[in-house]
Amino acid sequence: MTRQMKTIAEHFPISGSFTISRGSKTTASVVTCHVSEGGFSGIGECVPYGRYGETIDSVLAAIETMRPQIEAGIGREELRQTMQGGAARNAVDCALWDLEAKKAGIPAFTLAGLAEPRPLTTAYTISLGEPEAMAAQTARYAHRALLKVKVGTADDASRIRAVRAAAPDSAIILDANEGWTENNLAYHFAVCAESGVSLIEQPLPAGHDAPLASISRPVPVCADESVHKTEDLPKLAGLYDAVNIKLDKTGGLTEALRMRDAARALNLKIMVGCMVGTSLGMAPAVLLAEGAEFVDLDGPLLLARDREPGLHYEGSLVYPPRPALWG
C-alpha cells in the first residue's frame, strides 16, 4: 500500500494572552501532519517552540526532509532512531500512532499496552503578571483543584503569596521558566514552602542547575527545559525530584513512554505537560499521563477556539480522547 503525507500550519487564537517570563503571545501556531495509507488516515499535531530554536518553517522543513522514509513506510521505532527529537518528530510519530490504531481497529492505548485511560485532574495555568493581576486571575479559577502559576522574576514572593491568598484550597505548581538565580533560589524555596506550593518547575536555566544538588529542597523540584530525551535523565536524578515530559520535547509518544519508564526507574516523579496547542496535541499525552503525579494538559482551555471535536473537559477533569479526535 502506498503511503501519502500532508503537512499544514494552523493558527488558533488564544483567549486574551499567555505570558511567561520569556514573553507573551496571543496565537497558538501548530503544525499538523496527516499520514494516509490503505484508506486510513492518521493525524498528529506539534507546537514549534522558539526556546528550542524551532519555527513553523523549520518544523515543516524537517518533516519534509523525512517524506521519502515516511511514505516508504517507516515505523515509529525506526523514526525515533532516525529523526531528531523535537516538535517535528512529535507530529509524525503521533500521526503514525493514530494511523496504526485505525488500521488495526483497536484504540491507541491498547496498541501501547496501556490500561484504558480514565479522566485526569489537570492543572490550569495562571499567566505571569503583576501580583494584583495574578491574584485577580487566580480568584476566577480558585475552584480548580490544581493551578499552574507562571513566575520567574527577580522577586516572586509577592506573586506567590498573592496567588495563594486568592486560591487557599488549590494545589499549586509554580513554574519559574528558568527565571531564578542561584542567589535568590533559597529565598524563593522558603516562600514556596511557607505558601504550601506542591511543585516548583525549572527554577534555574537549563545547563546551570548544578546548585540544586547542594541546596535543601523543601518543595519538590521538577525539570522541564533541562530534560528532552531519556538519555538526559541520569544526570538529573540528583538535582531534581520530578521531570516534565512533553511530547513536543521528546519528539512523540514513542520516546515519551520510554522516558516515563526510565524516570520511574530512577525514582523520579512524573509530570506530563504541554505547549499551548489544541486538543489534538493533548490527546496522545492523556494516554501518557495515566498514573502521573502531576498533569498539565490545559492547552485547549487557553484557546479562544479549539478543534472540533475536541477533548472533553469538565471542571478540573480532562477525559480521554474519542476516536473521532485521535487514537
Predicted local confidence at residue 166, as pLDDT: 98
User: Residue 193's CB: how many other CB atoms inside 10 A?
Assistant: 14
Three-class SS of residue 172?
strand
* CA-based nearest residue to 3, from 47, 33, 31, 32: 33
Output the pLDDT for position 1.
64
| Cα→Cα distances 114→107, 244, 258, 265, Å | 10, 20, 13, 18
Cα within 13 Å of Cα(262), Cβ side: 19
Residues acting as catalytic residues: 150, 246
**Which pLDDT score, from 0 to 100, does residue 299 have?**
95
Neighbours of 24 (CB within 10 A): 13
The neighbouring-strand residues paired with 303 are: 14
> Residue 321 and residue 309: Cα distance in Å, rounded?
9
SS3 at position 111: helix
Neighbouring C-beta atoms of residue 205, cutoff 10 Å: 15
Residue type, 146: L
Gap between the terminal Cα atoms of the chain: 21
The confidence score (pLDDT) of residue 46 equals 98
Residue 160 φ then ψ, to 5°: -60, -45
Residues 256, 93: contact at Cβ < 8 Å? no
Residue appearing with cell numbers 520530578: 242
The domain ranges of the chain are 3-105, 120-318
Residue 8: CB atoms within 10 A of its CB come to: 10
Domains 3-105 and 120-318 equal at CATH topology level: no
Going residue by residue through the chain (327 aa), what tens digit of pLDDT does each one get?
689 999 999 999 998 778 776 677 899 999 999 999 999 999 999 999 999 999 999 999 999 999 999 999 999 999 999 999 999 999 999 999 999 999 999 999 999 999 999 999 999 999 999 999 999 999 999 999 999 999 999 889 999 999 999 999 999 999 999 999 999 999 999 999 999 999 999 999 999 999 999 999 999 999 999 999 999 999 999 999 999 999 999 999 999 999 999 999 999 999 999 999 999 999 999 999 999 999 999 999 999 999 999 999 999 999 999 999 999
Does CATH place domain 120-318 in 3.40.1170.60?
Answer: no
d(CA 25, CA 48) in angstroms, rounded, equals 13
Is the separation of the CB atoms in 14 and 25 below 8 Å?
yes
Q: What is the CATH architecture assignment of 3-105?
A: 2-Layer Sandwich (3.30)
